[in-house]
Structure 1
Amino acid sequence: MAGLPQSSTYVSLTTFRRTGEAVPTPVWAAPDGDRLVVWTRADSGKVKRLRHTARVTVAPCDVRGRTTDEPVEATAVLLEPHEWRQARAALARRYGWQWRVSYASSKLWQRVTRPGIQRHAMIRVRPA
Structure 2
Amino acid sequence: MTTPTKKSGAAALIHTFISTGDSLSDRADLARFLREQRLATEGAIPITLADLDEAIALRDGLRAQLSHAAGGPGDPEAVARAQRVLDGLRVTVRLVPGEAALSPLAPAVVDEVRRGLARIAGAWAAVLATGEWRQITPG
Q: Compare the two structures and name the one with the higher helix fraction.
A: 2
TM normalised by structure 2 equals 0.28
TM-score by length of 1: 0.29
Structure whose residues are more often strand by fraction: 1
